[in-house]
Structure formats: C-alpha cells, structure tokens
C-alpha cells in the first residue's frame, strides 16, 4: 500500500528550525507585578536597529487566583527577515517554543507579531 504522507516542512527548513530552537536564549526584564518582559535571542536573526534581541515577549499574569483565566502572551519579532511567508514554519515553531519554555502548561492566549506571519492562538492544557 502506498503512503499518502507529504512532508510539509523541507529538510532544510527543519534543520533551520532545530538550529534556531537549540540556540534560542532569553533574558528577563521585570515589567510589573503582573507582567514579565523577556528578550528573545536567535542565532541568525537580530533587531535591525539595535543588532540585539530578535524580539520580545510580554507575559501578563492574572494574580487573582482564578485558574480558568488565560495568561496573555504577546511575542513581537523585530527582524523583518522573519516576515517572509516562506519562514512561516519557523515563526510558528518559535512561538510554540516560547510558550513551552516561558509559560509552560498554563492556559495561554498568544498573539505573535511578525509581519505577514503574525497569528493568534490558544494553548489549553
């Protein structure tokens, strides 16, 4: 029987995704009592103006103790190379990895800004 499975990500893109996620680093900047600000550093992408972090993450927590409320997470990628529609898989992988590393298993509303590759998502445990 013939398999009808098609690889949606090329081997080259898979290699680039694995490389970026492997070397992805963060630094934290306390924004307020209810929000954290993190800077994302990627190996091949940088802020074109400052040549620093490729983007930032703002995580807004609800401190009222209601576990049914979502954590709001905003990711802003500054490097315009990441706005290329051919890099959509990479941008989605970065968004997923940010949620996995910084938010974990909490219910999360994600808004990722990367030009044409921007998207919104819900992560529910």
Query: pLDDT tens for residues 62-83?
Result: 656 555 667 899 999 999 999 9
* 16: in domain: no
The answer to whether position 32 is within a domain reads: no
Does 49 reside within a domain?
A: yes
The answer to whether residue 86 sits within a structural domain is yes
Q: Which long-range contacts (CB under 8 A, 24 or more apart) does 97-100 make?
A: 97/21, 97/24, 98/40, 98/57, 98/73, 99/73, 99/123
Residue 85 reports pLDDT greater than 90:
yes
Q: Is residue 2 part of a domain?
A: no
Q: Which of 78, 70, 64 is closest to 120 using CA atoms?
A: 70
DSSP 46: -
Q: Tell me if 5 is assigned to some domain.
A: no
- Domain holding 72, by residue range, is 38-123
Question: 112 lies in a domain?
Answer: yes
| % of the chain with per-residue pLDDT over 70 | 88
């Amino acid at each position: 029987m013939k398999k009808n499975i098609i690889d949606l990500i090329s081997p080259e893109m898979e290699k680039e995704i694995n490389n970026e996620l492997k070397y992805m680093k963060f630094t934290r900047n306390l924004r307020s009592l209810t929000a954290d600000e993190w800077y994302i550093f990627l190996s091949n992408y940088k802020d074109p103006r400052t040549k620093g972090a490729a983007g930032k993450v703002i995580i807004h927590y609800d401190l009222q103790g209601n576990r049914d409320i979502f954590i709001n997470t905003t990711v802003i990628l500054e490097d315009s190379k990441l706005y290329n529609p051919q890099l959509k898989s990479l941008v989605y992988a970065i968004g997923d990895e940010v949620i996995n590393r910084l938010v974990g298993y909490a219910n999360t509303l994600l808004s990722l800004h990367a030009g044409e590759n921007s998207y919104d998502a819900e992560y529910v445990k």
